[in-house]
Amino acid sequence: MVTKFFFYSNEHNPVHVHVRHGSGEAVLEVETRVELRESQNMKMLELRKALKLVIDHRELILEKWHEYLG
């Protein structure tokens, strides 16, 4: 199963990224630090993996957010 990280085209602040894995989804804020805002139906193992990836790639996520959303 693939984990997807994405923004919607009409996003709002604070800077955050959506994560989808199977039928689960989470929202992680990344503006000042990475923190879980909400999660629904994501298993803890997948949530931990997603958190680590977002922490490891926080600067890239911020760059892409500002590049795409201004």
pTM, 2 dp: 0.92
Q: What is the pLDDT of residues 13-48, one digit of tens each?
A: 999 999 999 999 999 999 999 999 999 999 999 999
**Backbone conformation region of residue 22, classed left if phi is above 0, alpha if psi is from -120 to 50, else beta:** left
pLDDT at 39: 97
pLDDT at 1: 84
Q: Is the pLDDT of residue 61 over 90?
A: yes
Q: Amino acid identity of 20?
A: R
φ, ψ for residue 16, nearest 5 deg = -155, 165
- The residue extents of the domains of the chain are 3-64
Q: Is the pLDDT of residue 70 over 90?
A: no
